[in-house]
Amino acid sequence: MNGLRSLRGVIGSILFGICYVVLTILSGVVSPPIALLFKPKNRQLVLNVHNFILLALFKLFCGVTIRVQGRENLTKGKPVILVANHQCEWETYFLQVLVTPLSTVLKKELLSVPFFGWGLRMVQPIAIDRSQKSNALKQILKQGKERIEDGRSVLIFPEGTRVKVGEEKAFNKGAAMLATSSNTSIQPIVHNAGYLWTSKSWRKYSGVIDVVIGPEISPEGKKTGQLHDEMQAWMRAEMAKLPKSR
For residue range 108-135, what is the model confidence (pLDDT) as tens digits? 888 888 877 877 888 889 999 877 777 8
pLDDT of residue 190: 98
pLDDT of residue 7: 84
Which is nearest to 210 in space by CA: 92, 99, 64, 101?
Answer: 64
Give Dmax (Cα) for the chain. Answer: 58
Residue with the bigger pLDDT between 14 and 36: it is: 14
CATH number at 2-241: 3.40.1130
Alpha-carbon span 88 to 159, nearest angstrom: 12
pLDDT of residue 172: 94
pLDDT of residue 11: 95
pLDDT of residue 1: 56
Alpha-carbon span 21 to 214, nearest angstrom: 33
Residue 213 has pLDDT above 70, yes or no: yes
φ and ψ at residue 213, rounded to 5 degrees: -105, 120
pLDDT of residue 159: 95
- Spell 168-178 as b/e; 16+ CB within 10 A means b: eeebbbbbbbb
**C-alpha torsion 12→18→24→27, nearest 10:** -90
**C-alpha torsion 72→228→190→194, nearest 10:** 160
pTM of the model: 0.91
Residue 19 has pLDDT above 70, yes or no: yes
What is the average pLDDT across 172-188? Answer: 97
Domain edges within the chain = 2-241
